Amino acid sequence: MEVRREIEVSGIVQGVGFRPYVYRLATGHHLAGTIRNTPAGVTIEIQGPPESIEDFVTRLPREAPPLAHITNVAVRDLPCNGDREFRILGSRSGEQVRTLISPDVAICPDCLRELFNSSDRRYRYPFINCTNCGPRFTITRDIPYDRPRTSMSVFPMCSACQAEYSDPLNRRFHAQPNACWECGPRAELWDRRGRRIDCRDAIAEAAAGLHAGLVVAVKGLGGFHLAVDATVPAAVALLRERKRRVEKPFAIMVPSVTVAQESCQLDDGARAALESVSRPIVLLPWKNRSPIADQVAPFNRYLGIFLPYTPLHHLLLAEGAFTALVMTSGNLSEEPIAIDNKEAIARLHGLADYFLVHNRDILLRCDDSVVRISGGKTRQLRRSRGFVPVPVFLEEEQPPVLAVGGELKNTMCLTKGKHAFLSQHVGDLENVESYNFFVEAVEHLEKILEIRPQTIAYDLHPDYFSTRWALQQKGVQLVGVQHHHAHIASCMAENHLEGRVLGFALDGTGYGTDGRIWGGEVLVAGYEDFERAAHLEYVPLPGGAAAIREPWRMAVSYLAHHFGRDFLALPVPFVRQLDRQKAELLLQIIEHRVNSPLTSSCGRLFDAVAALIGIRHQINYEAQAAIELEMAIAPADDNTAYPLGLISEGEHWLIGTRPLFEALLADLSRNVPARIISRRFHNALVEGFAQLADLLRKQSGLNRVCLSGGTLQNVYLSEHLESRLSAAGFEVFTHGEVPAGDGGLGLGQALVAAHRFRSQGTL
């Protein structure tokens, strides 16, 4: 007896070798039928004995090619017909085939073997790829994903490549970037004036330059990297000086997990993240400093490590037999990463000595992604290359919304059906280049998703460039979303929560509904709205942005707030060493409230403590003081926590910091070391927030807690708070797929806007 079934598979199943895979699976089971691409994915008709069909259906999603991302499999019965074989059908004519584009992924093991096999026709070919690997998102101009709409359109395939491309059983069947020495892109080495350097092998020459301590700009998948030998302190120092990047850690690329293990502590989760096809930078605890130069990540206990992901990376590392290369974004400080050869020369000629370029255009800028493993979970810190444009899957269908994100670490988000598409990392929208990239990224995302939402969600901060852009758009419905509400909604969406939750949104800066700068917020929130249930007590932010760059200002602000000018007599080093003239000026600013908005920021509280205990008075990159305060924690069993004051104000709670500062100052005057003070400070937040959660549970009956905001990227704080809350019987939800910081803001904004839109009955 035979049966026939129709199987509809949706998700990322085109251009990823799915049809040949199904062909092999079906013929392996001696089943007959067909497969074709459809607008939603692929449709398979399959006929044969029921038990074989059942096995086929079970294995279909389980053994799918690495780049396939199946979101749904629907099976229904069909009447049998006379099919005796399995065939791959073309798309129905006139039918638009539109599905999700795959992200860019690392070279696969098969291609890697060919790359280093001297008898293979692609031996040492830097652009080898197949349907299981290679560039995708960054070479795509438009959809559907087809060679003419990619930057490979200028390279007509040779007959050997064309034969592979047309053979359903070949690994390169419909591999759009398929190429070889004969027909594909080439690498060249240029000098800093953009002149081609005549040499036998550009990669070997670049490796020689790196060995000589030079800086080489290397064109990758989503942009240029600046590379130096990470084991040579002088080379790393040179790169820091040229890039004007004083202390912010660099990521390093190492040839293998084994090498990573020599420098860093690796568990199974970290190993899996390093070796995953998306090849993110993984932040790992630094175990053994040598042979990596100290300047790679000064004052940091973590090292950002990633493995090579393009064939060119593999060739470069092998050619120079490098232990580790610094591979940092090819840009000057916070500008967007360079992608075009000429642009790279123009912008990076003062930074790099050589340029290892190629003639396959990068059409979309896409920075490396950054993850860390904490609480047994991979957590996105920067979700970009290798992950974008894979959507976040939502619980319910949402109306189309464009959410423009925040100001720093900007990403945007577009909802379509049950999918939320987060853009690649756009960066800090403070310079014109980033702003242009932002506008480009919006247009491109709308184009490849074929959607132009009539609802735009934006942050309430009037000075954010993303907000200003949103407010300029005509003929759309605009929805302003409070920053911390968006953080909590983002955490809810990622965890598929509905209803209301207790939300702890802890970060540096977010514009509040009272016009003040929020950042230590406890909300009772649903998607549509929120109440501010508690917040850190307000203190002045003396000098506005200057107070963010100079944490000592926050220390003075807190001390003056709690103790008035009496603090100037405190017997602690911070006060004794304070420049009296500068302090006097600052106190005048505070007392007269000149450019000193009030803030409840948790990030600024970290800054104040870091400055007070002598860790950092000024910063060179965002959140540096808070990061170094976390790094200072002693691995000890001291569970002492400084007290926080919970002050009831009707339905709301104020989190008072005076008891914390009193206890901390007492420790300081007793010369308690910074590593212990830091620990007690972190414990204060854990205990204080846990007590608050308890009080709010009694008030509201809510038992689910969402943790979000950039401050919760602090591993000690997030892990301890999570376990403390779990122990108290709370259901705790955190971020994984989407960053807890502002890179995840767009998702929350979109969901808030979508829910408001729906409740108004306009869906």
Residue among 93 and 159 whose Cβ is closer to Zn ion: 159
- The Cα–Cα gap between 535 and 518 comes to 8
In whole angstroms, the minimum distance from the beta carbon of 17 to Zn ion comes to: 9
Which stretch, 50-58, 70-78, 110-118, 290-298, contacts Zn ion (CB under 5 A)?
110-118
In the list 31, 42, 64, 161, the residue contacting Zn ion (rule: CB under 5 A) is 161
Kind plus residue range of the DSSP H or E element containing 219: strand 216-219
Q: Which of 464, 423, 481 is nearest to 447 (CA)?
A: 423
Do residues 326 and 351 make contact, with C-beta atoms less than 8 angstroms apart?
Answer: no
In whole angstroms, the minimum distance from the beta carbon of 281 to Zn ion comes to: 22
- Residue window 672-711: x/- pattern of binding to Zn ion, with contact defined by CB under 5 A: ----------------------------------------
Q: Is the dihedral of CA 690, 692, 696, 698 positive or negative?
A: positive
Residue among 359 and 378 whose Cβ is closer to Zn ion: 359
Which stretch, 2-10, 92-100, 181-189, 635-643, contacts Zn ion (CB under 5 A)?
181-189
In whole angstroms, the minimum distance from the beta carbon of 182 to Zn ion comes to: 4
User: What one-letter code names the amino acid at 391?
Assistant: P
In the list 111, 216, 345, 522, the residue contacting Zn ion (rule: CB under 5 A) is 111
Do residues 97 and 10 make contact, with C-beta atoms less than 8 angstroms apart?
Answer: no
In whole angstroms, the minimum distance from the beta carbon of 327 to Zn ion comes to: 22
In the list 26, 101, 180, 370, the residue contacting Zn ion (rule: CB under 5 A) is 180
Which stretch, 7-15, 158-166, 427-435, 642-650, contacts Zn ion (CB under 5 A)?
158-166
392 touching Zn ion, by CB under 5 A = no
In whole angstroms, the minimum distance from the beta carbon of 172 to Zn ion comes to: 8
108 touching Zn ion, by CB under 5 A = yes
Q: Which of 554, 614, 616 is nearest to 589 (CA)?
A: 554
Q: Is the dihedral of CA 204, 205, 207, 208 positive or negative?
A: positive
In whole angstroms, the minimum distance from the beta carbon of 110 to Zn ion comes to: 5
Which stretch, 126-134, 243-251, 513-521, 739-747, contacts Zn ion (CB under 5 A)?
126-134
Do residues 552 and 582 make contact, with C-beta atoms less than 8 angstroms apart?
Answer: no
Which stretch, 102-110, 196-204, 278-286, 468-476, contacts Zn ion (CB under 5 A)?
102-110
Residue among 133 and 660 whose Cβ is closer to Zn ion: 133
In whole angstroms, the minimum distance from the beta carbon of 107 to Zn ion comes to: 6
Which stretch, 8-16, 125-133, 651-659, 752-760, contacts Zn ion (CB under 5 A)?
125-133
The CA distances from residue 433 to 338, 439, 446, in Å, are: 10, 10, 20
Q: Output the 3-class SS for 55-115.
A: HHHHHHHHCCCCCCEEEEEEEEEECCCCCCCEEECCCCCCCCCCCCCCCCECCCHHHHHHH
The CA distances from residue 717 to 46, 446, 723, in Å, are: 53, 38, 10
Residue among 35 and 175 whose Cβ is closer to Zn ion: 175
In the list 73, 88, 143, 158, the residue contacting Zn ion (rule: CB under 5 A) is 158
Q: How many residues bind Zn ion (CB under 5 A)?
A: 10
The angle formed by the CA atoms of residues 318, 320 and 325, to the nearest 5 degrees, is 90
Residue 204, classified by CB atoms within 10 Å of its CB into exposed (0-12), middle (13-18) or buried (19+), is middle
Residue among 121 and 593 whose Cβ is closer to Zn ion: 121
- The Cα–Cα gap between 640 and 682 comes to 10
Do residues 487 and 709 make contact, with C-beta atoms less than 8 angstroms apart?
Answer: yes
183 touching Zn ion, by CB under 5 A = yes
In the list 54, 182, 450, 579, the residue contacting Zn ion (rule: CB under 5 A) is 182
Which stretch, 182-190, 230-238, 687-695, 701-709, contacts Zn ion (CB under 5 A)?
182-190
Footprint of Zn ion on residues 128-157 (CB under 5 A)? 130, 132-133
CA 736 to chain centre: 10
Q: Which of 309, 319, 342, 298 is nearest to 229 (CA)?
A: 319
- The Cα–Cα gap between 446 and 443 comes to 5
In whole angstroms, the minimum distance from the beta carbon of 138 to Zn ion comes to: 17
In whole angstroms, the minimum distance from the beta carbon of 309 to Zn ion comes to: 12
- The Cα–Cα gap between 211 and 213 comes to 5
Contact residues for Zn ion, defined by CB under 5 A: 108, 111, 130, 132-133, 158, 161, 180, 182-183
